[in-house]
Structure 1
Amino acid sequence: MSDQQQPSTPQPPATATGPDSGTDSGAVAARLAAVRERIAAAADAAGRDPREVRLLVATKTQPPEAVLEALAAGVDLIGENRVQELVAKAPAVADRVAAGELEVHMIGHLQRNKINQVLATATGLETLDSLDLARSISDRCVRDGRTGERGLEVMVQVNVTGEESKSGVGPDDAGALATAVAALPGLRLTGFMTIGAHLDDAAEHTVRAGFARLRAVRDDVLASGAPGTGSATELSMGMTGDLELAIAEGATVVRVGTAVFGPRPKP
């Protein structure tokens, strides 16, 4: 999942300590402060309390050292796109997770054969997009005794753009999937996630309409009163390039990577 770039929104200049690094000492803290200012300004403009919007720092391709620098600057929610990176970085943040100081979300597509790895390292999954996958995760949570308040927090991923390159269930089917997921033991439905249309390819009103569609899905599920759906309040939407549009449409979580770390390290 890559952050979208919005040329009209100036970003802090990238700095580096070496050819393969996107950060230097103090740069992450400065970038975080700038992102938090953007979030606060967007919330104010939308007539919302900035405290209603959480910042998830996407740590794709970042080394543990960069992640720890972000944590030192007050980050309490990070997200990983790839299971192998999630597992590799887990030891560096394990103490904070165990102490309840840090949440770690899987924000990339999850294959069924990697469920155990995610359950061992993540506190939440934002990309649940099928009932078969949900049932497999539920079975393993129950097997491990993770039920009730100890269940895995999950969001249903919704493809609001209809693009084949994006994962997620269609908006018309998202409500039924969410209701079914909410009834499964070992899972705690907390909301919905989407990836908006790329601003380079779509007008702002199109991107914003996609976010509004996700909000409508969430509101319909909450209004249904179906068992287990009462906690499905979260809307994880908006990234580096479009977070202002997402916040205007009700985002409660924005996922930001490049605006925090600068350009991703080269392979």
Structure 2
Amino acid sequence: MPDQSQPSATEPGASGSVAARLAVVRDRIAAAAVAAGRDPAEVRLLVATKTQTPEAVLEALAAGVDLIGENRVQELVAKAPAVADRVAAGALQVHMIGHLQRNKINQVLATATGLETLDSLELAQAVSDRCVRNGRTGDHALDVMVQVNVTGEESKYGVRPDDAVPLAIAAAALPGLRLTGFMTIGARLPDPTGDGAADDGSAEDAVRAGFARLRAVRDEVRASGAPGTSAAVNLSMGMTGDLELAIAEGATIVRVGTAVFGPRVTATTL
């Protein structure tokens, strides 16, 4: 299975409590938004909980987190009981941000409020069918985003940008789905702690170009006026190492894990 994680840079606030690290991340988001001439309130923080224990997740929620994302269905299901009350009360949203296989759709629908990794019409139709079967339509439809591979890297999931517009328009018309935007994983940035040559800016330019491409896809879909596309406003892009670049290019959601929880552990204790 391709590895969708992004190597992290050295993090400010890498030590200390989850609440302290969250404060640093929120400051980064606000500063990046202001630098881009945007209102910080336009950018939402999704805390990626991959490999974290339910206890660590609850610590983040206690610090005010209201949106989390999980990469693996097994972890999504395992952590669901710990956050079920908050989800039921509407105080927490849970997004699936990892690749979804069709044989695990029911597990995701039982635990997630959103899916950011829709990458084929076949998957969209299968998710729609299950939503309809479960009565999850109308106001209870599942929020979905189309995942776009803006870098063309084989190691990343997502539909090609040229195919993203027709897929999004088709998915938006399916019952049980509410198209809310688009998601991508940016190109890799050099590790600033490494011994390689200093970046001349070309790597950042490549990352920004990918994010700009996702924004163009979103704008084209919304401009189409096709049924169900008016709510497709979100751009889920930018992670621990490149969130400033993503915000400069219009991100409305940034997905951050390492900067909140510290370096990932190698195994999950649930």
Provide TM-score, normalisation by structure 2: 0.92
CA distance in 1, matches of 2:185, 2:15: 24
**Alignment correspondent of 1:23:** none
The equivalent of 2:15 in structure 1 is 14
Per-residue CA deviation, residues 222-256 of structure 1 (Å, 9 max, x unaligned), is 10000000000000000000000000000000000
1: CA distance between counterparts of 2:159 and 2:5? 19
Which residue in 1 is equivalent to 2:198?
none
Give identity over the alignment, percent. 80
Q: What SS does structure 2 have at the residue aligned with 1:235?
A: strand
Q: Which 10-residue stretch deviates more, 200-209 or 58-67?
A: 200-209
Partner of 2:66: 76
C-alpha contact 1:3 1:256 (8 A) present in aligned 2 = no
Q: Does 1:233 align with 2:223?
A: no
**One-letter code of the match for 1:118?**
V
Summarize deviations over 1:180-236 as a string: whole Å, max 9, x none: 000000000000000000102861000000000000000000100000000000000
Check the 8 A contact 2:116/2:144 in 1, yes or no: yes
- Tell me the matched-pair count: 254
Secondary structure in structure 2 of the residue aligned to 1:105: strand
CA RMSD for the aligned pairs?
1.1
The 5 Å alignment of 1:176-187 reads 176-187=166-177
Which whole-Å deviations, capped at 9, do the CAs of 1:50-101 have from their partners, x for residues lacking one?
0000000000000000000000000000000000000000000000000000
The residue aligned with 1:250 is: 250
User: Hey, what does 1:144 align to over in structure 2?
Assistant: 134
Match of 1:88 among 71, 78, 84: 78
CA-to-partner distance for each residue in 1:150-173, whole Å, 9 max, x for gaps?
010000000000001000000001
Amino acid corresponding to residue 266 of structure 1 in structure 2: T
- 1:63 is the counterpart of 2:53: yes
Corresponding residue SS for 1:220: helix
Rounded to whole Å, the distance in 2 between the matches of 1:227 and 1:114 is 28
Counterpart mapping for 1:1-267 below 5 A: 1-7=4-10, 10-14=11-15, 27-200=17-190, 203-267=203-267
**Contact 1:126–1:154 (8 Å) recurs in 2:** yes
**How far apart in 2 are the matches of 1:35 and 1:3?**
17
- Distance in 1 separating the partners of 2:188 and 2:165: 25
What is the rounded CA distance, in whole Å, between the counterparts of 1:195 and 1:140 in structure 2? 27
Corresponding residue for residue 195 of structure 2? none
CA contact (8 A) 1:59 1:79 kept: yes
CA distance in 2, matches of 1:265, 1:173: 36
User: Which AA in structure 2 matches 1:188?
Assistant: R
CA contact (8 A) 1:4 1:239 kept: no
The letter for the 1-side match of 2:220 is: D
Return structure 1 stretches of 4+ with deviation > 3 angstroms: none
Alpha-carbon offset, residue 4 of structure 1 = 3.7
Between the aligned partners of 1:134 and 1:14, the Cα distance in structure 2 is 41
Q: Aligned AA for 2:241?
A: G
- Offset at residue 14 of structure 1 (A): 3.1
> Could you tell me how far apart the structure 2 residues matched to 1:101 and 1:177 are?
31
Aligned partners of 1:3, 1:164: CA distance in 2, in Å? 14
State the Cα distance separating 1:258 from its structure 2 match.
Answer: 0.3
Which residues of structure 1 form unaligned runs of 5+? Answer: 16-26
1:2 and 1:165 map into 2 onto residues whose CA distance is 10
